[in-house]
Amino acid sequence: MLTEDIKVSLLKDLDRIGQADAPELEALRVALLGKNGSITAVLKSLGGMAPDARKEAGAEVNQIKAMITEALTARKALLDEAALNARLAAERIDVTQPTRPDIAGAIHPISRTMEELAAIFGAMGFEIKEGPDIENDWNNFSALNIPAHHPARAMMDTFYLNAGAGSRPVLRTHTSPVQVRTMLAQEPPIRIIVPGRTFRADHDATHSPMFHQTEGLVIGKNITLGHLKGCLIDFLRAFFDAPDLPVRFRASYFPFTEPSMEVDIGWNRKTGEIGKGGDWLEILGSGMVHPNVLANCGIDPREYQGFAFGVGIERITMLKHGIADLRLFYESDVRWLRHYGFSALAPAMLHEGF
């Protein structure tokens, strides 16, 4: 049998285990179960006892050893869990925190210009139409009275999607195909604008292989050149916020309009100020819809007339906001966007001005 003093000592050690911290727990483990520990020493002393006494003392010491081992394991698990919880609390990240305000984006100037165009022409009764970026040859060229030898069909200007014979699909070079689709799908009167992406093989500070256009089309009875001029003058003066903006119409040529006109606005060549100075700046193309285009789309040119116009969205955006390089629109620089962008909470509203 174990002496009473040994039992009392081991039971006291058992109580200390339940209160020990991590360093103390390791010290107790070594003092009790280590190579020179007290329980190890008791087990070594059993060899000098009589067989019956050794058997009884061995059972008692093994029972106490099992209790101590279990207590050490339980206390270590409890201390490890507490340490882990403390570390998780210290390293916690609040994923619900809002983003930093200095990295907030803004409405892109091109998107803002599209909103303004929709507001201006919407007030004039125009409907917005959209169409696919990939078009067939008929909608993009032939229906618009563009002959086979026209430079716009050349590979240097147009992105063809394959080299097969016949009617090759193209990335649309203008949004005019949507005008064709609309005239084929509905009867006059028609009053639409068509904003969207267009594609041409050109790239420099003022041109991009992908850019945006807005084209307009009005078809009806007794439509005259006066309607075209009045519509465009009102649009340009509203967009540039210049009630007295000088607007000039010059004779030009487009295959799909007759007569055709370039539209200029007054500006100062030295300062770039819109509406000031004695200089003129070409801003868009326009004209009366060619009778061949009306006939190609199933509309009788003897009964209906119309006008059309087209304006580059990047071009008028650059002029209005003083942006010198077209390529900056597409560089995805949030610093640039914060400077030239617009608040998402301030939509374009015609009655409030721009």
**Model pLDDT for residues 209-263, shown as the tens digit of each residue:** 889 999 999 999 999 999 999 999 999 999 999 999 999 999 999 999 999 999 9
Residue 99 inside a domain? The answer is no
What's the rounded Cα separation, in Å, for the pair 121 and 110? 16
- Nearest-CA neighbor of 249 among 284, 216, 291, 273? 284
Pair 78, 198 in one domain: no
Residue 225 and residue 304 share a domain: yes
Residue 102 domain-assigned (yes or no): no
Q: pLDDT class for 161, splitting at 50, 70, 90?
A: confident
pLDDT of 349 strictly over 80: no
Residue 100 binned pLDDT confidence (cut-offs 50, 70, 90): low
Give the residue, 158 or 222, on which the prediction is more confident.
222
Instruction: Assess whether the previous peptide bond of 259 is cis (omega < 30° from 0).
Output: yes
Torsion of CA 178, 329, 254, 163, to 10 degrees: -70
Q: Are residues 176 and 221 in the same domain?
A: yes
The pTM score is 0.68
- Residue 289's pLDDT is 97
Residues 158 and 152: beta-carbon distance below 8 Å: yes
Q: Are 52 and 143 in the same domain?
A: no
| Domain boundary, last residue among 60, 90, 120 | 90
Looking at 24, 57, 90, the residue that finishes a domain is 90
Rg, C-alpha atoms of the chain: 42
Tell me, yes or no, whether 323 and 177 share the same domain: yes
pLDDT at 352 exceeding the cut of 70: no
Please report where in the chains the tokens 């500006």 appear, as a residue: 267
Kindly report the CA angle at 252 between 248 and 257, in degrees rounded to 5?
A: 105
Mean of all residue pLDDT scores within the chain:
86
**C-beta of residue 220 within 8 angstroms of C-beta of residue 288:** no
Residue 67 resides in a domain: yes
Q: In this structure, are 155 and 128 located in the same domain?
A: yes
**pLDDT digit string (tens) for 133-145?**
999 989 999 999 9
Q: Which of 101-105, 122-126, 206-210 has the lowest mean pLDDT?
A: 101-105
When divided into structural domains, the chain yields a total of: 2
- 3-state SS string for 68-130: HHHHHHHHHHHHHHHHHHHHHHHCCCCCCCCCCHHHCCCECHHHHHHHHHHHHHHHCCCEECC
Q: Are residues 208 and 83 in the same domain?
A: no
Q: Are residues 126 and 162 in the same domain?
A: yes
What confidence tier does 51 reach under pLDDT thresholds 50, 70, 90?
confident
Res. 27: pLDDT tops 80: yes
Give percent above pLDDT 90 in the chain.
Answer: 45
Same-domain check for residues 225 and 152: yes
Structure tokens at 331: 């560089």
Same domain, 84 and 123: no
In terms of residue numbers, what domain contains 82? 4-90
Whole-angstrom Cα distance, residue 254 to residue 59?
110
Mean pLDDT of 176-200: 95
Which of 43, 60, 90 is the C-terminal boundary of a domain? 90
Q: Is the pLDDT of residue 50 over 90?
A: no
CA pair distance 216, 176, nearest whole angstrom: 9
Residues 116, 238, single domain; the answer is: yes
Same domain, 228 and 321: yes
Q: In this structure, what CATH number is given to the domain that contains residue 284? A: 3.30.930.10
Residues paired with 265 in a beta bridge: 247, 281
pLDDT of residue 45: 73
